[in-house]
Structures are given as C-alpha cells and as structure tokens.
Structure 1
Amino acid sequence: MKKQVDILIVGAGISGIGIAAHLLKNCPQRSFEIIERRESFGGTWDLFKYPGIRSDSDMSTFGFNFKPWQKASVLADGASIKGYLSEVIDENQLAQKIHFQHRVLSANYDSNTKKWSVEIENADNKKETWIANFVVGCTGYYNYDKGFQPDFPNQSAFKGQFIHPQHWPENLDYKGKKVVIIGSGATAITLVPAMSKGGAGHVTMLQRSPTYIASIPSVDMIYDKMRKVLPEDLAYKLTRARNIGVQRAVYAVAQKQPELLRKFLLQSIKMQLKGKVDMKHFTPKYNPWDQRLCVVPDGDLFKILREGRASVETDQIEKFTAKGVQLKSGKHLDADIVISATGLNIQILGGIKATIDGKPLNTSQHMLYQGVMVSDVPNMALIIGYINASWTLKVDIAAEYICRLLNYMDEKGYNEVLPQGDATQIEQDTVMGSLSSGYIARAADVMPKQGKSGPWRVTNNYLADRKALKKAGFEDSVLKFSKKSAASVTKPRLVS
C-alpha cells in the first residue's frame, strides 16, 4: 500500500501539534498528516507517569504564542500540559490528522522524484509506504524506548524494586516504604517532595555531585492580577515577554558573571534550608548553566528536607546489596525501592533509519541551517528546542519560518529545497551547546554539529533567533531550489 501525502509530520508531541497548528493558519494551501508511534498524543507528557511530573519552564513561555496558558500557575503538571495540548488539537480539528500507533521504520529521499519514501508499521503491524513531499521531524531528542541506565555494581543482588522513571509502574505502592532516588536532576528533585507527600516512609536523594536549584513561586501573582484588569491576550503577551526577558537575563549573567549568579543561588538555598541541611549537598563545583539549572515551586524540595521527611547523600555507589545501596564512604542506605533517575538516552528522528538515494544519513556529520534544516538533506525540517529556555519558544518561530519557506516555494514553483553544507564550517560541538550534562556528552555521535558562523550557528538565544528567522530571506548562497519542471537535478552531497 502506498499513500501520497504533502507534508508528513513525525511525532504528535508539542512540536508536531505546534507545527500542525501553524500550517493550518499560515499555509492553508498545504495538506499534512501526523504520524505518532504511541497510542496517544503528547510525547514526553504522555510517556512520563512518575509522581509530580511537571514542566521545568514557566507556562507563559511553554505555551504556544497563539494560545495563552490561561492559568496563574507558573509550572504545570503533566496532566495539565496534556490537557492544554488536547485543547489545541480540538480547536484546530487536528484529531483526524493524527495516525496513532504508526511507527516509522525507514525513510529514503529520492533525488529523481524529489520525494521521501517512508516505510511505516501501522497499528495492525502491517507495513505501509507513505510518499511525502516534505518531512518535518518532531520526535524530540529522547529515546522513548529506553532511558539511560548505568551498570551499577552487584545490582542484581537487590531484593527490592528497581525502577527507571521513564518506565514507571502503574499503581506503584510506596506508602511507608524506604525510597532511594539516584540522581540530582529535574526528575529527582521532583520525585523527592512528590513521594514524600504521597506517603513514602523516607526518601533519600543520592547524588554524585550537587545541582544548582532555584526556587520560584508556584503562582504568578502579577499575571493573576493583570488578568483581572486587562484582556486575557494582552496579559498573556506581557507576562510572556517579561519571562522571556528574565530567562535571557539570568542566562546572560551566568555567562558573563557566573560568580555573581552562583552567590545569589547559593544564598537563596541557604536561606530556605535554615541550617537544617548541610550546604555541601547544594554547592556544585561547576558554574551556573554549565549544566541545566533546575527549578522547584515554592521551595517544596527544601521544605521537605528541613522537616526531615527526606534527606540528601552526596556520595558514590560502591555496590548494591540485598537491602539497599552500599556507599563508598562506608554508609549503607536501606531501601525497599530504588529509583534510577539517571537521565535519558539521546536519539534523533526517533531512531528512524534515514537515507538519501540509499546512502545512510548520519546526522552527527551535518549541521543545522537556521537551526531548522539539516545540511545537505532536501525537503526536511528538524525541530530541536532550546537548552536554556522553553522548548515551545523554538517550535513557534521554527514553524513560522517553515511556513514562510513553503509559501515561497509555492510562489516560485519549487518542489525541492536543499541547504548546501560547507564542510569548513563544522565544529566538534553539537547544537546542544557547551552544557556538560551527561546526556549532552552522550549525544555527540547522533546530534548535528555546531557551525562556526552565520546560518550554521545555533545560538540558543530565542530573542536573536526570533529576529533572524523573521527576517531571513531564501535567496542566498546556501539554499538551492529546484523547480517542478527541471529536466535535471543535482544530487545532494553529504558533508563528511
């Protein structure tokens, strides 16, 4: 079976739903279909089910620019975010466009036909071939099948439950039980207060090294007051603009005056711990934003620690025992449940085997043009959000750029666009930037590389990107277009 589609969107998470809504508004002449391997929409917000799962970005910037987040909550839980996405689907009548349990097996671009041939396994486990003019990759960069799991010494000896948050058991009973959470990132600092409040006997966060954590209000009181006197859209736009400015200001201070931000963050934590917890557990050796900055609402983590309902250990694992974890310091942590909040595995295009004229596509040998299109890959866009701001900010401006590009191609009669790569521009850093987080380091062999300058440089600066993408023209020395009536087509060359 072969199905002809105009634009094929891979993934029905935040990126895919956002792109679809923008296409409806800005490219009404274009049709599209969305394929999603899971049984429901939402991506990350459908996959993760652990207690307390929430955004780590404020919702005024995490929401789309075309749909205000109409609640005063600064952060939102997973169910609320999925509910928000459901509203976007309903308001834009996208449900009939989404094909669930459709898994992409491979995709090959044919330079002669100027189309993508996408092999798909459908909900009945039967293979289909979809022929697409343009493909938009909206799968994020997580491996949804398997999270990152270190090989802990003697792990098999542990007689309790061992859980990775990416595969949270349904109806897990942890009331009254001793829980050890390995990790200190966003997942761990969410789980500690959530499980403590949920009735766990005691929760211990075991970390190799501390993480910078900022406490933010759970309710935006200024936005809440503005909504009562201003039109909803205006209040949302003002709040969104303010929070974007704050995000950029904090990141800028981290880059230019890291010691100043470090002192501010540590002093804030010290005030909240009130001498009840040793500051060594919250004093990283690196500078702020060398790794992602974590946030907690209303200091809930610090409150739980002050009250003694949870604790922190900064140590290394010597081995697992039948009853828990033996630390190198000699201390033993008794545990009924061990949760390995050790991070995620990175992959691009959802693990799809992509080829161009039969030649394998290795995304780690390519760059991103305008942060949106893969060098030397025709008729494809790839959505990768920000490392230092809300993912959705990038979705909105990337979608608007893609729509302008498609409209330009229709106006000129083009059916192929190719961002021609420049091998002299490739650097060793990936587009994820200079963060030293483990999952960033593990992404080196799959993520596109950073370019030295110009359209190949991914800045991770929303304000700069918004201006650049809004003004970006298409008649430059990089983009190569082919017309539908062209007699011959130059095959794309891969950057090596």
Structure 2
Amino acid sequence: LKTAWSSLDNTWTVEALRLDTNETVTFTCNFLWMCQGYYRHDVGYTPEWEGMEDYSGRIVHPQNWPQDLDLTGKRVLLIGSGATAATLAPAIAGKCAHVTMLQRSPTYFIPGRNANELADILRQLEIDETWIHEIVRRKILFDGGEFTRRSFEEPEAVRDELLAGVRAFLGDEAVKEHFTPKYRPWSQRIAFVPDGDLFKAVIDGHASVVTDEIDRFVPEGVKLKSGKVIEADVVVTATGFHLSVLGDIAMTVDGKPVDMSKTVTYRGMMFTGVPNLVWVFGYFRASWTLRVDLLGDFVCRLLKHMKTRGVKRVTVELRPEDKDMPLGPWMDPEDFNPGYLQRGGHLLPRAGNKPEWRHTQDYWREKDELPKIDLDDPIFRYGN
C-alpha cells in the first residue's frame, strides 16, 4: 500500500494488505530491497478502440485469462505480434476453429530447437553436471554478448539472418509481407519460437497473420483501415503491459511524497534523495536473473560496509561535477523502445550521461564493474 522513511530513527515503515484476511499489517525495517519487477500484474494494457462496446463477442487480455473461456469451435482474433501473441497463437491453433494474428507491425523472431544442444552433448559424454552448468552458462552468455554487439555494429547482417530463419518455414513472400520489421534488431525484444511452432500453425492452416491497423470494432469483429472485416467470436488483446515503478507503492521520505520521475538513478538501482533503498531492475537483452545476482552481491556488500562504518543510512547524491550533467530518459528510445516504455517511461527516474548515473543494460560490462564499486565514493552519503 505505502511505505514511509523517517530520518529521525532511520526506519522504513511499510503498510501492506494481507490478501487472505484483507487486513492491513505494518512492518518496519532499516533497508528496503524492492524486487517487484516492472510490469503491473493486476491488469494488462488494452488500447481503447472505437466501437468496442458494439462488439457482440468476448474481449479478453492474456494477463487476465478467464477460467471459463472455451475456445472450441470459436474464431479467435489475436491482436498483437510480440512474445505473448507468438506463444498464444500456436497454443490455441487447432483447438479453436481458427486463430488470426493481427499485427500493426511485425516482430523479429528466432525459431530454433527447444533444447540446448551443447548441454545434450555434454550429458551424452557423461560430463559432471556442475561442469555442464558452468560451460553452458558461459556459452549462452558469450553468444548473447556477441549477438547484442552485432545488432549494433552490423544490424543489416543480423536482420538478414533473423529473416532467413523465418523464410525457411514460410518462404519469401510471407516474410516480406508479415515478418519484416521496420526497426533495428534488438531495439525491441526478439521472440523465440520453439521448433517454429507459430510458423507451423500457419503452414497447417490453423492460424493466419494479417498486417494492418484497426479502424474500429463492429458487432461481428474488427474492421481494418484497409476496409476488410475480420469476423471473430473472441478477441484476445495481446497488446502489452502497464509499466510499474517500484510496485506502484506510494512512498514518502520524512513526510514528503517521492516522485521517482524527479530523481536521478544511480546505476539503475538507487535514486537520489531516497535513503536505504535498492531496486532490482534486470536486463532487456540478457536474463533478468543475471542482474539479480549482481545486485544481491552489491546489497550484501553495502550492508556489510555500513555495519563496518557504524552507520545506519546511505543515500546517493550528485557530486559537484555532476550538477550540470545533461539528464534524459531512463532508457534512450534510440536504444530500446518497446510500447510499455514509450507509454510509461515518464514515470521512471531520470538518467545522466555518465555510467554511474544510468542503467547501461550491459551485463558484460556490469559483471566486472559492479563488484568493483567504491563504496566510499562521494556519491554515497552515509550518516546516522
């Protein structure tokens, strides 16, 4: 519900709601570690299209999937082209009468075996599981780093490789019409298609893809800007999520409400003017848990450092040389620009143009940099 910091006793007071009894409970602590992720989990994002109230069928969002929904024999219109749509379409194809995936613009996909060949080979050779874990982990991280680097340095080559993977299933005409995005690879998430199941559903005739924009809803379905009407018994809006900043929890520091958009982020985990708090925000182009590990080590090191110094409070502050630093959005839209960031980016803290004052999104740098952070840097202000 809400949390409040008091500098008089260096304490956070957290008011929470017990879901089983619906009663308010209160906790106090000296340090807050925020681990809510960045999606709002209670409801997904559905645009307001004209005529939705005229539609005679059912509209659902995958994040709030109703238990009583039976798609047997139903014509399903799936709006969206991201990972949710690419996962849902093959899952319901063949179980409903037909599923049409309607997209405003295409997404990059990577089809591949839903297995790790290196791990399978090492197990066949009876290598110790501890070794297998470490080798496979390093291989995945190496490949991910190279893929990210190439997406910036040679984007056209990466683009051609990604399109070739889809072309192997659907041919050149379908790729040109429905699977060629206009943006640079990795400026939005790339969806993995296990064993090409989405494309196989299209080949089998259980699913189809339409690239167009919605004009309005009509009683029988959706009218497109091209004039075509897609008839549907059920419309599924796989249209994204709402951004949640620190769990949407109301926060005060010494009685003053905290507006996170007015703070400046320290390495995407701490914020100017907010004491004794770290937010776990992972990576867009690498596993989220990689940064969870790094920040877990950092928090433990920071708490130990505070205990050694005999202090109970730490806040990050701009240094004199940072005062005139240009500030921009948390994430440069030229770097990464999915819809939820474009819609909710104004809620996030500001970022500077120095590595200390931004979330680099670069695991391959941070794995070396974060463990070496100087906790006596003037950025950290300690006290009691």
Shorter-normalised TM range: over 0.9
Provide closer, same or farther for how the CA distance between residues 465 and 246 of structure 1 changes in structure 2, counting only shifts above 3 A.
same
**Residue 275 of structure 1: CA displacement?**
5.4
Q: How many residues align?
A: 378
- Cα separation, 1, equivalents of 2:346 and 2:53: 30
Contact kept in structure 1, 2:329 and 2:346, CA below 8 Å = no
Q: How do 1:138-153 and structure 2 match up within 5 A?
A: 138-153=35-50
Q: Residue type of the partner of 2:225?
A: K
- Cα separation, 1, equivalents of 2:130 and 2:326: 42
Q: How do 1:445-464 and structure 2 match up within 5 A?
A: 445-464=346-365
- Cα separation, 1, equivalents of 2:207 and 2:32: 47
**Residue 313 of structure 1: CA displacement?**
0.4
1:362 aligns with 2:362: no
Aligned residue in 2 for 1:35:
none
Q: Residue type of the partner of 1:330?
A: G
- Cα separation, 2, equivalents of 1:386 and 1:461: 8
**Residue 299 of structure 1: CA displacement?**
1.1
- Cα separation, 1, equivalents of 2:256 and 2:23: 25
**Alignment partner of 2:2 out of 103, 106, 110:** 106
Identify which range, 362-371 or 319-328, moves more after superposition.
Answer: 362-371
**Alignment partner of 1:396 out of 284, 289, 293:** 293
Aligned residue in 2 for 1:128:
25
Aligned residue in 2 for 1:24:
none
**Alignment partner of 1:233 out of 103, 111, 130:** 130
Provide closer, same or farther for how the CA distance between residues 302 and 423 of structure 1 changes in structure 2, counting only shifts above 3 A.
farther
- Cα separation, 1, equivalents of 2:74 and 2:136: 42
Aligned residue in 2 for 1:429:
329
Q: Residue type of the partner of 2:102?
A: L
- Cα separation, 1, equivalents of 2:372 and 2:47: 45
Q: How do 1:178-217 and structure 2 match up within 5 A?
A: 178-197=75-94, 199-217=95-113
**Residue 278 of structure 1: CA displacement?**
5.2
Contact kept in structure 2, 1:277 and 1:306, CA below 8 Å = no
Provide closer, same or farther for how the CA distance between residues 230 and 161 of structure 1 changes in structure 2, counting only shifts above 3 A.
same
Identical counterparts, % of pairs: 38
1:383 aligns with 2:277: no
**Residue 479 of structure 1: CA displacement?**
0.3
Aligned residue in 2 for 1:326:
223
1:300-335, Cα deviation, whole Å (9 max, x unpaired):
111111122100000011111111111111211110
3-state SS of 1:192 partner: helix
Provide closer, same or farther for how the CA distance between residues 227 and 406 of structure 1 changes in structure 2, counting only shifts above 3 A.
farther
3-state SS of 2:118 partner: helix
**Residue 375 of structure 1: CA displacement?**
2.1
Identify which range, 222-231 or 282-291, moves more after superposition.
Answer: 222-231
Gaps of 5+ in 1: 1-104, 484-496
Contact kept in structure 1, 2:86 and 2:198, CA below 8 Å = yes
Q: Residue type of the partner of 1:359?
A: K
3-state SS of 1:443 partner: helix
**Residue 381 of structure 1: CA displacement?**
0.5
Identify which range, 443-452 or 374-383, moves more after superposition.
Answer: 443-452
3-state SS of 1:475 partner: coil
Provide closer, same or farther for how the CA distance between residues 423 and 208 of structure 1 changes in structure 2, counting only shifts above 3 A.
farther
**Residue 231 of structure 1: CA displacement?**
1.4
Aligned residue in 2 for 1:341:
238
Gaps of 5+ in 2: none
